[in-house]
Amino acid sequence: MIFSKEQIFSDREAISGTVAASDNVIDLGETGTVLNGPAPLVRDIGPGQPVSISVSGVAAVAADVLTVVLETDSAEAFDADPLKLLDEAIVTADGVPFETAWNWLPDGSEKRYLRLTYAFASTGTAVVTAGIVLAKQTNKTVAGA
């Protein structure tokens, strides 16, 4: 994966318990106002080129379900009115790497800040790396090469 340091939600972050927020919040910046415009532009990061988000890690529990949620909010502390954009449940197993990726963001993603939250169904633990990526890296071994 090709990660940018500014677009990392979690960098080998230890996740445990039932709910945890990613260590990092991505700030999309303030929207500007067109010259002589009456108000700032409305942000909507959903349309346009696909945006890939990669979540990978290793769990340290026999079997559990880890739900990963992408949230957006107008406040960096996510105390205003967080909006859930995407979520996915990942079945984990002890010592087995897991990976998931979203290749799009939904229309209507107009708030300034993005973060991930992680929630185990029971008492799981994992180490997670997640962030916005340029593209998914897929190295494959070619037979006879």
Burial (CB count within 10 angstroms: exposed 0-12, middle 13-18, buried 19+), residue 144? exposed
Burial 88-107 (b: 16+ CB within 10 A, else e): eebebeeeeebeeebeebee
User: What is the residue-averaged pLDDT of the chain?
Assistant: 84
Tell me what pLDDT residue 73 has.
Answer: 92
Enter the pTM of the model: 0.82
Place of tokens 């984990």: 92
Tell me what pLDDT residue 121 has.
Answer: 87
Indicate the CATH number for domain 3-30+43-133. Answer: 2.60.120
pLDDT < 70: residue spans in the chain: 1, 46-48, 108, 135-145
Tell me what pLDDT residue 115 has.
Answer: 94
Strand blocks (E) in the chain: 3-16, 20-21, 26-27, 52-59, 63-73, 83-93, 97-102, 113-120, 125-133
Instruction: Give the dihedral sign, CA 33/37/40/43.
Output: negative
**What residue ranges do the domains of the chain occupy?**
3-30+43-133
pLDDT in tens, 32-63: 888 888 888 887 776 667 778 889 999 887 78
